[in-house]
Amino acid sequence: MALDYKKLKAWPFTDVEQSYTWKDSALYALGVGYGHDPLDERQLRFVYEDRMQAVPTMPVVLAGPGFWVKDPASGIDWVRVLHGEQSLTLHRPLPVEGTVIGRTEVVGIIDKGRDKGAILHQRRTLREKTSGELLATIEHLTFARGNGGFSEIEGNGPPGGDPPAPAKPPAPETPPDLVCDLPTMPQSALLYRLCADLNPLHADPAVARSAGFPRPILHGLASFGVAGHAILRSCCDYDPSRLKSIGLRFSGPVYPGETIRTEIWRSGTRVQFRARVLEREVIVLSHGIAELAD
């Protein structure tokens, strides 16, 4: 069954309502490494209920549509999909607890060719339920490696599909202005999966081996949260209101227990970054870009 361009662009997502408490906010913070120094009061404000604040990257785990591409009606070869890029725009600081409404849409489908696959560009808005106030806009690109060439079928979308999303810039060739090393724990994936993603790839050694990994890997969105932590620590003095947006490309897996080094280049309110794991000297996050408040 081939990817149906018109069906996917009009996919009938239902709004998702999710209530969360301060304990959910603390669990997310712990899952992406806040509190690794329990004497750092700047980190404690995200894991301790006294004068608590929510981690700014937490919207990525709230009110999502789930793994909808597994629905046979989508025509997507879900076994071969990869999470390619992730972006988050913050319109106001996330409350520590509350009820939110997530609304998802497919805004673009790009045909890279029969041998290269397709790219799904999804967007989710997150609003506070009572006021309707927009909290965040979440976008991500999914590589559907088994669905390239769909636009070659007559009437199945424009040639090449939709225009691609703007490309994120690569890191500069100059030495970074700042470097931030943050540890992950051996149990990081087991903690993080309780926030949103229960994929056994991140918990079951047998499943990880069947997927070609020597052991369970850390969720991509967990490493996204660690990079956000590095930006918040290095550039914002742990003030969530100063982080306006963050986006990146996933380049490689992280194994729980590894140290993630985020290399940062600053130019006014614009930040570029990439991340590597020190134990293997492998780039795991690339084309990172963030915008800060003045």
CB 31 within 8 A of CB 55: no
Catalytic member of 31, 98, 197, 264: 197
Catalytic member of 220, 228, 247, 288: 220
Distance (Å, rounded) from C-alpha 235 to C-alpha 216? 31
Q: Is 202 a catalytic residue?
A: yes
Helices within the chain (DSSP H only): 5-9, 22-31, 41-44, 188-192, 205-210, 220-235
Q: Which fold has domain 5-152?
A: Thiol Ester Dehydrase; Chain A (3.10.129)
- pLDDT tens digits along 228-260: 999 999 999 999 999 999 999 999 999 999 999
CB 69 within 8 A of CB 76: yes
- pLDDT tens digits along 101-149: 999 999 999 999 988 999 999 999 999 999 999 999 999 999 998 999 9
Q: Nearest 5 degrees, angle CA 213-CA 214-CA 220?
A: 45
- pLDDT tens digits along 23-80: 999 999 999 999 999 899 999 999 999 999 999 999 999 999 988 988 999 899 888 8
CB 171 within 8 A of CB 263: yes
Q: Which fold has domain 178-292?
A: Thiol Ester Dehydrase; Chain A (3.10.129)
When pLDDT is averaged across residues 198-222 and rounded to a whole number, the result is 91
Query: What pLDDT was estimated at residue 198?
Result: 86
- Give the start-to-end residue ranges of the domains of the chain: 5-152, 178-292
Distances (CA, A) of 64 to 6, 139, 200, 214, 288: 22, 11, 19, 29, 23
Query: What pLDDT was estimated at residue 172?
Result: 95
Query: What pLDDT was estimated at residue 82?
Result: 87
Length of the chain counted residue by residue? 294
Residue 2 has pLDDT above 90, yes or no: no
Catalytic member of 121, 140, 202, 287: 202
Catalytic member of 109, 119, 217, 246: 217
Q: Is 217 a catalytic residue?
A: yes
